[in-house]
Each structure stands twice: as structure tokens, then as C-alpha cells.
Structure 1
Amino acid sequence: MADHSFLSTTSNRIRLALLCSAASLLASGIEVRADEQGTTHLGLLLLDPAHVRARDPDGNAADRGNSHYVADAELERARMGDLRDLFAGIASVSVGGAIPVAQKIFVNGVDMLNLAVSVDGVAQNNRIFHHVSANAFDPGLLKFVRVDAGATGADAGPHALAGAVVMETVDATDILAPGRAIGGTARLSFADNGRTLGRSVTLAGQHQGLEWLAYGKRATGDDYRTGSGLEVAGSAADITSTLLKFAYEAPDGHRVELSGQRPQDDALRPFRANMIGVGAPRDPRRYDTTRDTLALSYENTQATGLWDPRIVLGKSQVRIGVDQPTAPALGTSWGDSETISGRIENRFHIATGTVTAGVDFYDRTSTYSDDATPGITEKAHNLGFYAQARLDPTEALSLSFGLRHDRQDFTGTTGWNRAFSGLSGNLSVAYALTDSLTLRGGVSSVFGGVALEDNFIFNPGWDYGGVRASRGTNYTLGFDYEADRLRLDGELFLTEIANARTSTFGSNATGDARSRGFNLGLGYAWDGGFLRGSYAYSRISVDGATPDSYAALDLGAPLGGVLAVEIQHTPEGSAFTLGGSVEAASAYRRVATGSDQAIPGYAVLNLFAEYRWSGVAGMAVRFGVDNLFDRQYADRATYGADYASVTPIYEPGRTLSIMASYDF
């Protein structure tokens, strides 16, 4: 039986979830305007995710009904932080791991490894060493983040089993003030817990259609302490991140863009980076992690009618080196994952909407090597054809439907080779019952092929006879309500993944996974401020049974109920903005076979004050205190809290911070 004690015994918390929840759609800032009768209405400004949705050409399409957009203000606050800071306001997107190298992302309870992830249109790698993250990104270089949970379009790319994550890096025009030819932003931050010093500089310029941008960030510090005073060995910040981008846009809209980025983390980390320890403590060891993404694209920003092409070519690579002090003969173990990908597509603008059609491909290679092993490799090549229609037949009805076909050639560690192919289809419908209330639903069936496994468990003796192509099936049913200053939303979801790889070194196997649950949200804005929040409940099963953390590895996580609340206010005429947030999770008592304890609940309060320096244009200073009451807790998405033998990687205790930024 599911543990619903949190819901049944704490009705006040449910009211809080309902009243502070659906905030995934309401952020911060308001605009007052008058109608013909002079009545005041609420508009939405930069701090609301709806403002970001409006910049998405398909933001109002039916298949975007389950999409979560990270607000501009959230991006700004996460600039000197990590992925957990980036998604802190969205309860259905959970990030566990405490330190960037170990942070794993879960969407509706499903590991992001089962979503199509792209940066600047370039497909990212999926699996890597299971103790570290396969998707560590620097929020400081991002300008747009969208999470498509569940059914998504055929143009999301291959392997969108449970949705997609789309990220875009900043352009020169995002940095430069109107009319400026050159400029930039400098940031400096310090956090007392771990004595972490962060500094970043962004420089940008433009001249007669030519744009350039250079970004650099460095964060260093000491090991932090948890709420109980435990010093987490191997948690010290030591990250370097860079981005270079060049673009040319002709007067008639033809735009070519080239970008390259590299975040690097090379430092001592916990022996198993995603946990403090198992049983007796072990000394930290060196993890050398480098992620590269190179992207080249062409589009016409002014295109209309039946000819609106886009071309993207790119490469993403993750290289992780892990010292093996307990096996000196191995030296350093290396895992390399590389994906070369591309797409050519055209968007046909028709009277009732758009139709996007195209072809995409990837060549993906994953290799393990050490001093005693020359290299063990898995490879996959995929070619896909797709078409996606997004139509508005009437003012009330919005439809999105698409189809794609993929053919994958897979080669295993033994040289075993086989081709897999399959169709994928999706359908999403949104219908406005009234001016305020919209009902929506979606379904998709997605061919996933065979995922490359964790290269740190590659076995040259694997039997591939039982490996099958995976398939994801998604169902969602939800609503959106908006009336003046109030916004509500909610949805039920079910995601099923068949034939997902669940291999260990000793065996090459597949299994079935399912995640189901619901999301609720509410937002309310007033002149100068906002309240937003979201509540998510998910339950995962593997092969029909409740899994422990290990059985769910790379598929999902036992999350249960998660709550996120944010509030912010700027007094009229004041240079100060005051606010805070609550992050909470209910106790998770669905103890599975293999685990031996319930996961405790927690509630953490964070506060901040920001001051816009009136005497220095472009200067802002932000003061914050995270985990005000110094709670010891591990984020619900962190691995291992359901085992008494595991010490999970706890989040930092009370942390005082200051960040200064200057636009020039």
C-alpha cells in the first residue's frame, strides 16, 4: 500500500500545496494595465515562467501543456549555483546529489537519462559512471530551459521515452543593452559554509550583424558541513566553466551560429561521489570530469510561409577519470561518452498553425579503459525521420500530433551487432472550456532503441541475446485555470518504459519501469510581488514491484511527495526585494525489498534580500541564508537514503551567502 499518511493526516499541508503550488506557472513580477472600464488586471513580466513560454514559438501548442519553463529570475538566481538551484521552484523536477558532479535530475520520478536532452540543439550523452551525473550543466551560461514531461513532439529527437529537456546558452544580444556594441556582466559570490568563492565574467560584442560572446566562471572552496556539523569530505567546490560563441545574422534574417562550452570539475570527491559512504568510511579519491559541447547551426529568424529551414550539427562529449587507490594496477579508470548528432528540418507555416518535418541522426560511442584494459566499447547509430503538426483549428481547440520512424544500429562490447527500428507517435489536445479554464491531455508511444550502458560496468563477456529495443508510453490529463491574479494547474501522469536496460557487470538484462502520480500548482501575484509553489507526488515501480534505490538506478527514484514554495515582494519605490522559499518532502515509507528503512521527511526555509544600487547603474547585491534552521537532510532525489548502511550525501547546513553583480 502507498504511504498516504502525509496527505491524510496533514490536511493543512495539502492546503498549502494547493494554495502555494501551481506556481510552476507563476513567477515574480507583474504589470498593471486598465481595460475599457478602467478595471485593473494582472499581466506577466520577466519573473513569470509564462514570459519565457511566450518566447517559445510553440509555447501555446497543445504538446507544451506539460512543459515547465524556468523563469528568468530563477536563471539569474542560479547563475553562481548549480542545477539544484536552477530547478528549485519546480517540485516535479527533482535534483539530488548535493555536489554538482553527483547531481542527478528526475522528471515526474523518471531519471533524465530516459529523456531526450539537448543543448543549443545538440543531443547530449546518456549513461556514464553510475556514481556521477551524466548531465551536469552550468546555469551561468544558460538563457532558456524547458522540461517536457511525458508526451512530447516527434521533433524532440530520438530517445524521448519520458519527455525532453531543452537548454539554450546565452547570446551576445542577451547581455548587451539596446544600442550597445560591447558590454558584459561580472559576478562575485561567497558562501560561508565551505568558504566557497565564485567569480564569473561575461563579455559580449556586436558589429554589423557579427556577434561574439566569451564566458568564464571559477568556483573554489572547502568542504561544507551538514546541519549536524558533519564535514562532508570531498565536497569542496573546484569547478571551471567556459563558453565561446560566435554568430552572424544578415539583415534578411539568415543566421549562422557556432558555440563551444566546457565545464570541468577535477578534485577529490567522496569515494562513491553520490554518497558520503557505505559502512566504514573511505578516503575521498580524485574524479576528473570534463564535459564538452560544440554546436553549429543555421536558421532564418525572419522566415515565414512554407520555407523556414533549420540545420544543427554538433558534438557532445563527457570524459570521467576516477582514481582506483584500492586497485593500483588499474591506475585511473576512464569513461568516455561521445555523441555526434545533427538535424535538418523545415517548418511549414500554414493558416491554422505549423508543420515541422525533418531528419535527424546520432553516432554515439561509449568506452571504458584503464591501465590494464585497452578499451571496451558500445556503439549506436540512429537515423530518424519525423513530422509534427501544431494546429489551432478553432479559438478554443489546440491540437498537436506527430509521427517519427527511427532505425538504430547497435554494437555491443563483444562486437555483437543488430539493427532495431520502430515508429513513435504522439497526440496532445487542449480545449478552452471558458476564457479561464483549459482542459488538456496527451498520449505518446516512443521507440527508444537500445541505450548504451554505464561504461564503468562494461563487460567484454556480456550475452546480448536478451536485449530488446525499449519503448516508452506516456499518458497525461490536466487542467489550467487563470483568472486575474490567480493561476491554478494540475495533472495526472503515467509513464511506462518497457525493455529498459538494467545491466550489471555480471549480466546484461532489461526490465520494465513505471512512474505514476500527480502534480498540483497555484500562483498568486500582487503589485510588487508573487507567491508560487508546486506539489508533486510520484511512485515508481520496476518489474511490477516497489524498488529500492539500487533497483531503480538509471530508471527513476523513490520520491513520494515533494513541495516547493517561493515568495517575493518589492515594496513600492524601494530598491530592496525581499523573499524566501520552502523546500519540503513528506516521509516515504514504502520500504522495498532490498532496502531496510523509511526515508524521513524534511522542510527547509531559505531567505534572501536583494538591493539594486541606485547610485551605480547595473549594480545589484543579494544576501541570502539557506537552510535557516540548520536541518540535516538529504534531498529526496539523493541516492541511498532507504538503506541503513548508506550515509547519503547530505545537503549543506545553514549557509550565509552574498552575491554581487554588475552589468557594464
Structure 2
Amino acid sequence: MSLSIDFRTTAASIAILSAFTMAAKAQDVQQETIELAPITVEAGGTDDKHAGAADRANSITIDGETVEDNALGDLKSLFAGDASVTVGGAIPLAQKIFVNGIDILNLAVTIDGVPQNNRAFHHTSANAIDPGLLKAVRVDPTVAPADAGPGALAGSVLFETVDVGDLLDEGDDFGAYGVLGYDSNGRTFSQILSAYGRHGGFEGLGYVKNAKGDNYEDGNGDTIRGTAADLQSFLLKGAYEADGHRVELSGERMIDDALRRYRANFGGVIGGRPVPELRVYDTDRQSYSFRYEATEPEGFWDPTVVIGYSRNDVRIPDPDDSRGLSDTFSAKVENTFNFSDTHALTAGVDLTDRTGTYTGLSAPDGLEETSLNLGVYLQDRIEVTERFDVSFGGRFDWQRFEGIGGFEDDFSGFSGNISGRYEVVDDLFLKAGYSNVFGGVAVEDNYIFLPSWTYDELDSVRAGNVVVGFEYRPDRWLLEASVFRSDFDDARSGQRTADFVSQGFNIGAGFNWDGGSIKATYSNTRIEVNGGATGSYEALDFGAPLGQVIALTAQHTYAPWNLTFGASLDMALDYDGPIGADDATKELKGYEVVSLFLEYEPEIVEGLTLRLEANNIFDTAYADRGTYGGEYDSLNQLLEPGRSFFVSAKKVF
């Protein structure tokens, strides 16, 4: 293990730990216990009827409080508390999520139950979302249940947008809030406005966010052109609930239209054909859902119906007037048969219709791939004894794939999963999961479509996953560890397929006291493509060489002053394994980034929250380990912002 840690960071970390320990001792031990912010938990802020089931034993839940704290942040800040989820890319347009080393494109991703598109232009993010419109996120890493939907090759990620009931206190019918924020690095000014209400069973919510600024400076003091914030996002929801039934309509949209680096996720390519430094990326991501569910389920009556549409539109006007449109229509009907309080069987059918289209000067008539998937599934969740839970299920999928040049073929396959959790002694749980998943043929990144493509070498992808671990939760402590492995056979890469492996282990520890908590997580991941070590180019859309990543977060609330303060450490060690690619000769160096925050709720102004953040306080020059290309001599990575001070004010009316 190669270890390179800056002395200032080490000293700061020790100071943070000491400060929080002293704060814990100073608080009155008779106060009500505050639960530890979860590292991996059974359930959290999501509307999860299966919370506590064995297939949730390894789930990572980002709860409502964490989401609210990052309302003016991005995906990197949202997932900062868990090292097993890495977000690379310094701007929202380019941010890509990796779960246990695997690109989120290989997980089933939903927003309010609607499947999202699994491909986009590879220099952009396929799953950008504004944290401010969320109420919770759940990640099911490695092994996902059958009802997670098709394409859950190595897990699933569920985003849930906020509801009126999450914002209004009981007895209140109308409300609103506004947020103003300013970031010194890039002089970015952000505004959020939301209004919501309910009357006679009807609910309505509107949300709008705007963020604009200048290019930021990295830790070297260099201004990085093409990084200025220019983002707008919107959420509109309506619902009606009465007599045990609820119908909900939801739509959200995120627009980023600005000058970016020629390759938005690169700092720049060294050599090669000359290209402009910047070009316009006009991106528009949308997701719409209709949802029906029974709010008073009884026995064998517990239905859910979700119909949705999502799209990812990436336009680059210059030089080729290019447009890549990825969209997905989906529908799901399922029912949970509640045999008892300890036994629930979910059965359902889902339809997913994906399309990828490219148009431009080189393809004025358009190039297109489509995938129509029909699946049926069962997932049984049983509490066998007070100490033993099991969840097992399967699904069968039929896929019709159509490619460029009139290619058509049918694929089908069975997927199975099983998860178990056993309490050996009080507070000590052993947990394990296994899945073998059929994924069909993925619709590719439409920006790489070619009229000459053939599909003779393609086959349906299949992934085998296993995770084994333990969790120990005595009183206020948490200690956990797990090992995982995912094997992909025939994962698609353009016209060909490749075999891909991600394996490693995660460790977590935490402690909570009256008024605060501290947690630390460590993840060690290695990937291979076609049996050999690989760089991020060879593993594109599969995963990334992440190595050893560490996350530390701590916070404490001093109740008499309504004051909360906290700190975080984002850290990666030197990558000490082989990369494998011939031109991947640069060493992936480690980094340590320390950030602090202070939040105050003055009693004199009801509903006002003031927050101050000092991010990257030591002005570290670094690219997140999940950012593309750090191992290649032929390009410069897109470095993260250097030191910045962020101030925000939120007023609830």
C-alpha cells in the first residue's frame, strides 16, 4: 500500500476528531440520543415498503437532512459521505457515478420509479440531477432485487423527489421557501424558490433553481475555462389522495447550456488533431412519471402502477451540428401479496422501450438503435425467525433489439438473486447476497454511431455478483465490512463485447453521541477488462480504476445556540496497482481534501437557516479519483475547484 498524506491534512483531521470528542463530552448526556448518520443502513428517507428486508442489508441511504444540506451542491457533495460511491468530474455536466468501481450505467437507475437512460455522450453525464429537488436517495450496490427493474446488472440507484407531505407540518396547508447562495470560487450565485400546498386531498408543488457564475480556479490558482455555472432545474408535482388511493404526476427538468471544454470531461488533450479549446454543450435532461398506489394496503391488495418517460438531449452546434437524443418510455404494474407481517411476495410486469438517435452533418437522416424489453418478476421477502431474514427472486426478460443498417435480433434470459441476513448474537449481523443477471444488449452512446456498424460479435450481457459482510451495531457504535465481486460477460463496447470484473472490499466505522456523529468509510476497488488490468479508456462505460478511497464526515449540534458545525475529509491513496494500458504511464497520485461548515438557525427569525462552508481549505490541486484520464500522458485531467467559501441563506415561509 502506497501512502502519501500531507501533514497539514493529518493535523487538521486530528484536530477535527479532538474537537468533536470534546463536544461530545461537553453535551448533557441526559439529552435525547441522535441516531448516527448512516453509512449503510436498512432503510432511510425513501418511501420503501420493503425497508428492513434482507435485500436492503447493504443499501446506502442518503437521508432527507443530508439532501437538504446539499441543495445547492452537486452529486459529488451528495455522495461525499460514503467512499464506495465515487463521483468523478468537476462540473455537473461531466459528473459520473461509480458504485464499487462500476459505472452507474450498469445499474438500474430510477427517478420516482421511472427508469433513466443508460447511455449518453461519453464526455457528459447520463444521470445528472439537481440534489435540491430530492428528498432521498438509495443505492443498492452489487446485488439488487428483481423488482429493481431490468438492467440491474450490478445493483440499482433510486432517486426520489420531494413531496408536499415532506415539507408541510401537520395542520399546515400552504408553504414556501427560498434559498440564496454564493460561492467565492467562480463567483457563482444560486437561487431556489419553491411553493407547495394541499387542500381537499389535492397536492401541488413547484420548484425552480438557477445557478450562474464564472470559471473557477483550481488548486494551482489557474482559471479553468469552460467551467462557469449556467444551470437551471425545475420540478412540478401534483397529486390526489382519497379513500386509500393516491395518484401522482411529476415532471423534472435540468438544463445546462454553456461553453465547455471541447471534451467536457477533459482538461485538454496533448497533441493530436487541432481542436478549439471550447464549444457549446446544450444539454437538456427530463423525466416524467405517473404513479398510482394504494395508501391503505390490506392483505393481498397492495398495488403500484408507474408509467414514465425520460430523455437526455445533448446538442453540440459546432462544428457538426450534432444532436444525440436518448429516451426511454416505461411502464410497470406490480402487487405485493402480504401473507403476514413477516412475509411479502411482490409480483409484477414491466415494459421498457429505449431509443438512441444521432443526427448531424455526417448523418442528416439520423442513425438509431432501439431496445424493447418486456419483463416479469417475483421477489419474496421473508423474516424466517427473529434473527434471520431472507429475500430471493427472479425475473425473465424478452428483448427486441434493432440496430443501424436494419439489424434486428431477439434476446431473452433469466435473472435470479438471493440475499440473507442473520443476527449471530445481539447487534452482530452476518449478511450476504448473490445475483446472476441478464442485461440484453445495451443501446450505445449515440455520439459514436457509425453507418458502417455491424453487430455480428454482439451478445447479451450477463453479470454475476456476490457480496459478503458483517455489521456490528452495539449501542452508539457501528463497525462493518464487506467484500464484493462483479463479473460481466459480453458487456457491450461499440460493435464488440468485453469481459469486465470489479472486485474489492469496503470498511466502515462510526460513533454517535448526544448531538452529533462521526463516520469513516474506506473502499478498495480493482477492475479488469478481458482479464487484464485496465485504464479508464479501456474501461469506458464499464468502470474506473479507483483504488483506495477514504471518506470521513463529522458534525455536532450545540442546541443552546441552534448551531451545527462539521467537517469532512475526501481522500484517495496513491494507486498502487498496474493500470495495464500501454500509454497509461502516469502515476495516479493520492490527495487529501478537508472542508468545514457552520450552520446557524437564529431564534429571532423563525424559519431562517444560515450556512457557511469552507471547501478545500488547503487549496489542494487534484482531480477526483473517478475523473477520467489521470493515468494518460496524452491528456490533462479536469481538476476540481480549489479553495472556496460558500454562504447560503434559506427562509421557510
Provide the rounded CA distance (Å) in 2 between the counterparts of 1:160 and 1:48.
22
Provide the rounded CA distance (Å) in 1 between the counterparts of 2:110 and 2:433.
22
Match of 2:461 among 470, 479, 483: 470
Write out aligned runs for 1:641-660 (5 A).
641-660=630-649
- Kept in 2, the 8 Å contact 1:591–1:597? The answer is no
Write out aligned runs for 1:311-322 (5 A).
311-322=305-316
Post-superposition Cα deviations, 1:524-567, rounded to whole Å, max 9, x if no partner, equal 01111110121111000000011111001000000000001011
Secondary structure at the residue paired with 1:52?
coil
Write out aligned runs for 1:185-264 (5 A).
185-250=177-242, 252-264=243-255
Match of 2:526 among 517, 539, 549: 539
Secondary structure at the residue paired with 1:495?
strand
Corresponding residue of 1:275: 266
**1:583 positional shift:** 0.2
Corresponding residue of 2:573: 586
Residues 1:598 and 2:587 are matched in the alignment: yes
Corresponding residue of 1:125: 117
- Kept in 2, the 8 Å contact 1:428–1:442? The answer is yes
Post-superposition Cα deviations, 1:204-235, rounded to whole Å, max 9, x if no partner, equal 01001100000000000000000101111100
- Kept in 2, the 8 Å contact 1:98–1:651? The answer is yes
**1:53 positional shift:** 5.9
Corresponding residue of 1:361: 351
Secondary structure at the residue paired with 2:384?
coil
Provide the rounded CA distance (Å) in 1 between the counterparts of 2:28 and 2:44.
20
Write out aligned runs for 1:57-136 (5 A).
57-136=49-128
Post-superposition Cα deviations, 1:59-115, rounded to whole Å, max 9, x if no partner, equal 211111121001222201210111111101111010000100000000000000000
- Kept in 1, the 8 Å contact 2:506–2:523? The answer is yes
Post-superposition Cα deviations, 1:177-206, rounded to whole Å, max 9, x if no partner, equal 221111011101000000000000110010
- Kept in 2, the 8 Å contact 1:33–1:41? The answer is no
- Kept in 2, the 8 Å contact 1:202–1:215? The answer is yes
Distance 1:7 1:193, change over 3 A: closer
Post-superposition Cα deviations, 1:154-176, rounded to whole Å, max 9, x if no partner, equal 00000100000011111111122
Write out aligned runs for 1:172-183 (5 A).
172-183=164-175
Distance 1:109 1:469, change over 3 A: same
Provide the rounded CA distance (Å) in 2 between the counterparts of 1:47 and 1:158.
28
* Residue identity in the other structure for 2:556: H
Distance 1:379 1:174, change over 3 A: same
- Kept in 1, the 8 Å contact 2:610–2:650? The answer is yes
**1:6 positional shift:** 3.8
Provide the rounded CA distance (Å) in 2 between the counterparts of 1:371 and 1:7.
49
Using the aligned pairs only, state the percent identity. Answer: 46
Corresponding residue of 1:24: none
Corresponding residue of 1:479: 470
Post-superposition Cα deviations, 1:38-71, rounded to whole Å, max 9, x if no partner, equal x999552788875716853222111111210012
Q: How many residues align?
A: 634
Secondary structure at the residue paired with 2:560?
coil
Q: TM-score, normalised by structure 2?
A: 0.94
**1:304 positional shift:** 2.2
Corresponding residue of 2:376: 385
Distance 1:449 1:531, change over 3 A: same
Provide the rounded CA distance (Å) in 2 between the counterparts of 1:321 and 1:621.
38
* Residue identity in the other structure for 2:249: L
Distance 1:386 1:47, change over 3 A: closer
Provide the rounded CA distance (Å) in 1 between the counterparts of 2:343 and 2:2.
46
In structure 1, runs of 5+ residues without a counterpart are 21-27
Provide the rounded CA distance (Å) in 1 between the counterparts of 2:533 and 2:183.
39
Match of 1:335 among 324, 335, 342: 324
Provide the rounded CA distance (Å) in 1 between the counterparts of 2:608 and 2:597.
17
Secondary structure at the residue paired with 2:473?
strand
Corresponding residue of 2:285: 291
Corresponding residue of 2:20: none
Secondary structure at the residue paired with 2:126?
coil
Corresponding residue of 1:370: 360
Match of 2:555 among 565, 568, 572: 568
Provide the rounded CA distance (Å) in 1 between the counterparts of 2:151 and 2:91.
27
* Residue identity in the other structure for 2:332: R
Post-superposition Cα deviations, 1:131-163, rounded to whole Å, max 9, x if no partner, equal 111110110111120001011100000010000
- Kept in 2, the 8 Å contact 1:47–1:73? The answer is no
**1:628 positional shift:** 0.3
Secondary structure at the residue paired with 1:452?
coil
Provide the rounded CA distance (Å) in 2 between the counterparts of 1:591 and 1:117.
29
Q: TM-score, normalised by structure 1?
A: 0.92
Provide the rounded CA distance (Å) in 1 between the counterparts of 2:277 and 2:37.
46
Corresponding residue of 1:23: none
Secondary structure at the residue paired with 2:393?
strand
**1:324 positional shift:** 3.1
Residues 1:396 and 2:387 are matched in the alignment: yes
Match of 1:301 among 268, 273, 295: 295
Distance 1:355 1:103, change over 3 A: same
- Kept in 1, the 8 Å contact 2:31–2:514? The answer is no
* Residue identity in the other structure for 1:286: V
Provide the rounded CA distance (Å) in 2 between the counterparts of 1:205 and 1:185.
12
Distance 1:478 1:45, change over 3 A: closer
**1:33 positional shift:** 13
- Kept in 1, the 8 Å contact 2:106–2:152? The answer is yes
Provide the rounded CA distance (Å) in 2 between the counterparts of 1:376 and 1:294.
25
